[in-house]
Amino acid sequence: MGKETSPEKLELENLISMVQNAIGDARRIMTNLHPFILADPGFVAGIDLFLREFQKMHPCVQINNQISLQEIDFPKLLGVVIFRVLQEALKNFIKHSQGDQVYVSLKKKGGGVRLLIEDNGVGFNLEDSRNGLGLDSMRGRVELSGGIFKIESAKGKGTTIRATWLVK
């Protein structure tokens, strides 16, 4: 005789699966609220680690970076904003640009902090991308944190993203 599964057992298995999925979703949400990569080693080391890991995941992309900041150069919450903007910019680069080089600069300049991300991708017409969720989220994060966001791109010319914040 074959083993029969009771309706109660099937229901329990479904509930267990739903709870496991909910736990996974909750973990992803918590990670998205505060990137743990920035917590342990600190912001500067976390950004460096993120860029190295990104390079490993995308070996055909060359990332050059110049990060000349220290933890004391900016408020801690600004670090999360910078990380999220960089993360979104690199995601867009992989998804849309067809390029193979990215330059990332993060430095203290005058009384502020400046993030610069340049790529050699195919670029795009800014007017065609007004409703892009990724670009809107980067702009929103920067402006809500008191910064200025600028993007330059043209077909065949790559893309440059600049974000600047005054810090005290």
Tens of pLDDT, residue by residue over 151-164, are: 998 888 899 999 99
- Token readout for 42 is 């600190």
Name 69's Cβ contacts closer than 8 Å, sequence gap at least 6: 43, 44, 106, 107, 108, 113
- Domains of the chain, earliest start first: 1-33 (no CATH), 43-166 (3.30.565.10)
Name 103's Cβ contacts closer than 8 Å, sequence gap at least 6: 63, 64, 65, 66, 116, 117, 118, 119
115 close to 83: Cβ distance less than 8 angstroms: no
Q: E strands along 36-97, which residues?
A: 62-68
| Phi, psi of 74, deg, nearest 5 | -160, 160
Question: 102-124: string of b/e by CB count within 10 Å (b at 16+)?
Answer: bbbbbeeeeebbbbbbbbbbbbb
**Could you tell me the pTM of the whole model?**
0.75
pLDDT band per the 50, 70, 90 thresholds, residue 126: confident
pLDDT band per the 50, 70, 90 thresholds, residue 34: low
